[in-house]
Amino acid sequence: MTINASQFLKACDPSRALSISNPQDRSYYIDFAPVRGSNIIQELKRTIALLADEGTCQLFTGHIGCGKSTELLRLKTELEQQGFYVIYFVSTEDLDMSDVDVTDILIAIAHQVSEKLEADQIRLKPKYFANLFAEIGDILQTPIEISQVDFSVGISKITARTKDSPRLRNQLRQYMEPRTNGILQSLNEELLGQANLQLKQRGKQGLVVIIDNLDRVDARQLPSGRTQPEYLFVDRGEQLSKLNCHVVYTIPLALVFSNEVEILKQWFGGGVSPKILPMVPVQRRDGTHAEDGIALLRQMVLARAFPGLDAAQRLARIPEMFDCVETLDRLCLISGGHVRNLLGLLRNCVQRGDPPFSRDAVEHVIRGQRDALVRTIDDQEWALILQVVEQQSARGEVEYQTLLRSMFMFEYQDQQGGWFGINPMLTETKKYQTWAEGRGVRA
């Protein structure tokens, strides 16, 4: 088997989520749950299964790029295998992440649910929405006659007109905001409620809606002084939590570090904290290597080169990919267990030349990534980074925004709970090395 550089480059696309229902994607998928510290997807799935006849609402978060979308697609597949009807959608398809309101999210859910139902020959035409669309059509100067088209087509016309036009979006919100409770009631009774009835007649366990990418909602400050995520999930969280089906929302990780997390727990999940997907551990709290995490990252890399082989067979083919296993491990360690970062490093290696990759080629790629990261850090941020290294914890939203969102620090889980480690790229800088030597910290 010869490595196809073109296929390997495509397989290492950091922006592509894997769906285990797809045979090719399944051959790339590595289950990191045994080393992450907890099986988050199992917990989400179990909650839905145990409360199949009720509506549940759960929150899911983690670093951007740590593998949330892939895990949510796994959740979708496993719930479908248990007999649930699952609608997964990426919120950025309908929403502008820099400017989102509660009614936008409700309309996006109505759009995605109705479109999937109609594709499966379940056509619902909520009367409330029919009247609403007629009036909205006048506002947007886009006549919408719901009786002549599928319900989802009517919503598509609205979202298409407003997504790229802040002016029209503002007009629409001024009209819809006073009607939020009516929209929610119609969504629950005339769409989700009726859908649940028809799905159960077809032998389904229930309706599940998984809304991905809401963790990318812009953290801009609103005129009220609240950030956009706080407004959506805290101030308006009660409305988002009352949908007549099972819902999983992705939320910005910053909310877990805010003073509002207790309110979040009450609105969503019945007092249960949001589920956080941590990094794959490449080191422990004491700085020693986490061999089990590194071994799985090794397999993630090799599976993309040799998807048809089992774990042992892949390990035997390492010489075709790298000059030695230590070079492969170097990439795994420097990634910090951040899946997207590791894939990005691999793509850079392929862009430089064909495998097997030499240690010199890998070090060149690492230097480029490290220099680009260091250029973004100012003195105040360095002070925060070094403080968190000593404490192994980040406190408050300001520290989160500065350190975690910028990928300067990563969060891990172990038997003692969550802890924070510096991005390994930064441990190789002169600034960090000098600081570490002065304090006797393992670099």
Q: What is the pLDDT along the chain (443 residues), one digit of tens a residue?
A: 568 888 999 999 998 999 999 999 999 999 999 999 889 999 999 999 999 998 899 999 998 889 999 999 999 999 999 999 999 999 998 898 999 999 999 999 999 999 999 999 998 878 888 788 777 777 666 655 555 556 777 777 777 777 777 787 888 888 888 999 999 999 999 999 999 999 999 999 999 999 999 999 998 889 998 999 999 999 999 999 999 999 999 999 888 877 788 888 888 867 778 999 999 999 998 889 999 999 999 999 999 999 989 999 999 999 999 999 999 999 999 999 999 999 999 999 999 999 999 999 999 999 999 999 999 999 989 988 888 888 777 666 666 667 877 889 898 998 888 888 899 999 999 999 999 887 766 65
Structure tokens at 310: 């089992």
Structure tokens at 393: 């914890």
Query: Other C-beta atoms within 10 Å of 53: how many?
Result: 8
Predicted pLDDT at 48: 96
Predicted pLDDT at 235: 93
Predicted pLDDT at 249: 97
Predicted pLDDT at 64: 84
Query: Other C-beta atoms within 10 Å of 223: how many?
Result: 5
Predicted pLDDT at 3: 80
Distance CA 11, CA 304 (A): 6
pTM score, two decimals?
0.91
Predicted pLDDT at 254: 84
Structure tokens at 352: 């430089």
Predicted pLDDT at 415: 87
